[in-house]
Structure 1
Amino acid sequence: MITFYPGPSKVYDEVGQYLQEAFDSGVISANHRSTAFMQMLEGAIGNLKTKLNVPDDYEVYFVSSATECWEIIAESLISDGSLHIYNGAFGEKWMEYTQKLTGAARSFPFETNEDPKPNAGIMPSANEVICITHNETSNGTALTSEFLNTLRAQSDNIIAVDATSSMAGVILPWESADIWYGSVQKCFGLPAGMGVMIVSPKAVELAIAIGNRSHYNSLLFIRDNFLKFQTPYTPNTLGIYLMGRVMQQVAPIKTVARQTLERAQDWYSFLPENGYQLLVEYEAVRSETVMAVKDTKERIEAIKKAGLQEGIVLGNGYGEDKETSFRIANFPAISDIEIQTLKDFLVFFSSK
């Protein structure tokens, strides 16, 4: 079965080999306070920072999921409130969960085919944390680097970014935000079950000023342990091992991002040429890692069903577009052969 589901999605082919290596090494049975574990964690973080070109002074933490990061940010970094800028289901869910925890989350929604412009209405008050979704998995849109850079230039606020379906697939402007987070089951090409949180010195300063240590996953408690290459709770040891090995294996992000862009451009030409209507009509905000196709409910169901019969898993639609769209993952672990298999299927289906 070939999967193009946008998370959990295909893992790198080499992961099978790395699983055996992890077992043979004994490290997955090691105590998470042991020297062996600490060396492994240090190596995984180092490999990630090198391959993704993360600034030296930004810190990397591994947590359970991107969703857990909503809670960490709400409890450790939001004191006066937050401003959530979003155009899809995951950005909205982040806002709703933060509102439950803080009671002070403010929304700035925009449309799928709209490029948000920093203006008086979008600007936060002095201490609000700005929360944005870099790549909205639900509808196949993405914020431009220009938007992030402009927002950073116009605001001194802490900026937190959900980069779940773009981290490790495209180049991210790290210094345009203070917190970046994502899960590993998308562009990292790893099994689900771990999240990555990347934090700037400015965000660390704010966490120290707020001083929240009331939770097992308070950012300061997490940080205290990671500075020693330990974790505050028993971690996903296997996930960390696989992260280190995959980050050792992959090309630098500049190379990976070039492939992602070339494949995306090809998909965005191929789909309309073969009778498939793109959900995102405005080219400037199309995602490079998740393509969304829209059609009638009946035809979407027929395409997905036919795909399964050919051993191809397409992503369901999500949110308000759940029944009238399907999604295609454009993640680095997916091979050219698999992409061609899907293209052949789509050409055949459109000719019926």
Structure 2
Amino acid sequence: MITFYPGPSKVYPQVADYAAEAVQQGIVSLNHRSAGFMDVVKETVRLLHEKLAIPANYHIALVSSATECWEIVAQSLTKTSSLHPYSGAFGKKWAEYAYKIKPPVSLNEADVLCLVQNETSNGTQVSMETLAQFRQDFSALIAVDAVSSMAGIQFDWSLADVWFASVQKCFGLPAGLAVLIYSPDALKRAEEIGENAHYNSLLFIHENFAKFQTPYTPNGLGIYMLMRVLQQVPPIAIVEKITKKRASDWYSFFAGSGSDLGLRTGLSDRAEAAVNLLINDPALRSDTVIAVEGSEKTIKDIKQAAYQAGIILGNGYGDWKNTTFRIANFPAITDEEIGTLMAFLRSY
């Protein structure tokens, strides 16, 4: 099966070999405070800085998931309350989760602005230009959920103080690990708050990663596989060019630009069979998740036919659960696989 599910999504085929290496070399059996495992963590952090062009003064830690990062931001970096403008289901979930931990006292006094850079539920994104405007208008910390875009497109890291992403999307790895990146200002805020009551308090995490250790027994296999994948992938500037070109091709495909697609006017002569891009404004469209809408019947029929053809399309999510399908545009997916899906959609 070829999967275009937007997370967990396709892993790089080499990951199976990397997992075998970790077992054969005893990596998965190393004590997480041993010199051998610390070397793996150190190299993984170094490669993240190098391959994703993360500034040297930004700190990196590895945790279990992006959801855990929501918790870390709320408990370790929020003094009074956080502000959560959102455009989809995951931004809303982050707000709801954060407010359970740190109930909003006054949003006018919010000291952390929380943004989802790439909203997986509906295929929208916050551009670096928009993020720069937020940076100009908001004087306190900015935290960015970049789950569906980190390692797929390039960021201006200076535009936020906290960035995080799980690895089961653009990193091309199995779920169970997340990358947390935080600025000197974020660390200063954590020190000011002084929250150190949890196993995942940022101060405790930072204390450990400063020594290339982890505060708890980690996903050692996941960290090793992340290191190996980072060794194989090109720098993010090159990856981004590929991602954006593929995104442009997908959006042109569904717009019927210069093609004989029946998708623009409908998959059959019946108007109810038409499908269209969910997001009309090109400036808001995600580079890494393409969302396509249609009637419930049409979406269901396309997904079933695709499955029978050996292709897994992403289900809709939240408000768009039954009226959209989503296509992952992640680096591990090959041009050949994209061609197969396009051919299927043309012939449907």
Displacement of 1:154 = 2.5
Residue 155 of structure 1: aligned partner? 138
Residue 40 of structure 2: aligned partner? 40
Deviations 1:125-168 (A, max 9, x none): 45520000000000000011111111112222100000000000
1:62 aligns with 2:45: no
CA distance in 2, matches of 1:164, 1:105: 28
More displaced, 145-154 or 83-92?
145-154
Residue 185 of structure 1: aligned partner? 168
RMSD: 1.1
CA distance in 1, matches of 2:217, 2:105: 32
* Letter in structure 2 aligned against 1:183: S
Residue 312 of structure 1: aligned partner? 311
Number of aligned residues: 332
Cα 1:63/1:105, change in 2 over 3 Å:
farther
Displacement of 1:267 = 0.2
Displacement of 1:25 = 1.3
* Letter in structure 2 aligned against 1:84: H
CA distance in 2, matches of 1:7, 1:171: 19
Residue 92 of structure 1: aligned partner? 92
Residue 52 of structure 1: aligned partner? 52
TM-score where L is the length of structure 2 = 0.94
Displacement of 1:321 = 0.6
CA distance in 1, matches of 2:224, 2:80: 38
Stretches of 4+ moved more than 6 A in 1? none
Deviations 1:87-118 (A, max 9, x none): 10000000001111111177xxxxxxxxxxxx
1:241 aligns with 2:224: yes
Cα 1:167/1:330, change in 2 over 3 Å:
same
1:23 aligns with 2:30: no
CA distance in 2, matches of 1:231, 1:105: 33
Residue 177 of structure 2: aligned partner? 194
| 8 A contact 2:83–2:110 mirrored in 1 | no
Displacement of 1:85 = 1.1
CA distance in 2, matches of 1:145, 1:13: 31
CA distance in 1, matches of 2:27, 2:62: 17
| 8 A contact 1:95–1:105 mirrored in 2 | no
Residue 186 of structure 2: aligned partner? 203
| 8 A contact 1:6–1:137 mirrored in 2 | yes
SS of the aligned residue for 1:85 comes to coil
* Letter in structure 2 aligned against 1:102: K
Residue 246 of structure 2: aligned partner? 263
Residue 6 of structure 1: aligned partner? 6
CA distance in 2, matches of 1:153, 1:302: 46
CA distance in 1, matches of 2:209, 2:277: 43
Which ranges in structure 2 are unaligned for 5 or more consecutive residues?
264-274
TM-score where L is the length of structure 1 = 0.93
1:225 aligns with 2:208: yes
Deviations 1:246-285 (A, max 9, x none): 0111000000000000000000001121314000000101
| 8 A contact 1:82–1:105 mirrored in 2 | no
Deviations 1:277-332 (A, max 9, x none): 00000010100000000000000000000011011000000010110000000000
| 8 A contact 2:80–2:105 mirrored in 1 | no
Which ranges in structure 1 are unaligned for 5 or more consecutive residues?
107-123
Residue 112 of structure 1: aligned partner? none
* Letter in structure 2 aligned against 1:316: N
* Letter in structure 1 aligned against 2:99: Q
CA distance in 2, matches of 1:69, 1:104: 18
CA distance in 2, matches of 1:337, 1:174: 32
| 8 A contact 2:81–2:109 mirrored in 1 | no
- Aligned sequence identity (%): 54
Residue 120 of structure 1: aligned partner? none
CA distance in 2, matches of 1:197, 1:145: 19
SS of the aligned residue for 2:84 comes to strand
CA distance in 2, matches of 1:96, 1:229: 33
SS of the aligned residue for 1:294 comes to strand
* Letter in structure 1 aligned against 2:318: G
| 8 A contact 1:126–1:157 mirrored in 2 | no
* Letter in structure 2 aligned against 1:85: P
1:298 aligns with 2:297: yes
| 8 A contact 2:296–2:322 mirrored in 1 | yes
